[in-house]
Structure 1
Amino acid sequence: MSRSTRIALGAFLGDLVIVLAFATIGRASHAEGLLGDGGVGLMTTAWPFIAALGIAWLVTLAWRRPTAPLRTGVPVWIVTVAVTMLFRALSGQGTALSFVIVTAVSLGAFLVGWRLVAFAVSRRRRVSA
């Protein structure tokens, strides 16, 4: 596996962990069990986020520059939030304004934030080399 493939895979998996963590925290904050009724609670909550993230990676071509905060992070964040809300609306899940705001702010901070940190670290390494 090439270095660029490993970086892209790692970035995608990192984004996936972020959306799964957000869904898990959301369920916990509403006193819903992790697995819920029938053992599929987390997946019921998380699938719109996971599917939207996959679509975001495809439409933004995120694998080309997976750690770029502006070129990749911002578009991945915006598409993920928008498509998640579409899927939640179509599947009868909540899309209250407060939920949309919390989702947008939280995912923005994390999906763009880790890329900003990675950019700063790589820039610092280049300057000191």
Structure 2
Amino acid sequence: MRNVVGGVLDVAAVVVFVAIGRASHDEAGSLTGFAATAWPFLVGLAAGWAVTRAWRRADALVPAGVGIWVSTVAVGMVLRAVSGQGTAVAFVIVATVFLGFVLLGWRLAARFAGRRAAAQGG
């Protein structure tokens, strides 16, 4: 069950990233535009899950979290480039930082919550 939750959290992270980005550029209205922005990163996310076999332990920071983060950004940017979408340096930096924060952040939070629960006997 926690791996399903991990997958949902990862997809939600990408969707939030796309939603914030599109809203900050006044592009929030179009569903097709949203999908066009999201698909490269969702493919990168799926590739990261496949490469790291994250379904075994989606909440692991290493290798799952780091591998998924790197794959989401790298594959996402390559797919954006080949599909004619922008890959400005500032965008790459923002995507790397934001996606790193959320994709690794929930895993760190889960790790600390698990340790805290274990320390409290539950």
TM normalised by structure 2 equals 0.95
Cα distance, 1:69 vs. partner?
1.5
Correspondence list, 1:14-93, <5 A: 14-35=9-30, 39-93=31-85
State whether residues 56 and 75 of structure 1, in contact with CA within 8 Å, keep that contact through their aligned partners in structure 2: yes
Aligned-residue identity in percent: 46
TM normalised by structure 1 equals 0.90
Q: Is structure 2 residue 92 aligned with structure 1 residue 100?
A: yes
Cα distance, 1:128 vs. partner?
1.4
Q: Is structure 2 residue 4 aligned with structure 1 residue 9?
A: yes
Instruction: Count the aligned residue pairs.
Output: 121
The equivalent of 1:126 in structure 2 is: 118
| Aligned structure 1 segments of 4 or more residues deviating by more than 2 angstroms | none
Measured against aligned partners, the alpha-carbon deviations of 1:7-43 in whole angstroms (never above 9, x if no partner) come to: 11110011001101100111100011331xxx41110
- Unpaired runs of 5+ residues, structure 2, are none
Cα distance, 1:70 vs. partner?
2.5
- Unpaired runs of 5+ residues, structure 1, are 1-5
**Residues in 2 aligned to 1:100 and 1:108: alpha-carbon distance in whole angstroms:** 12
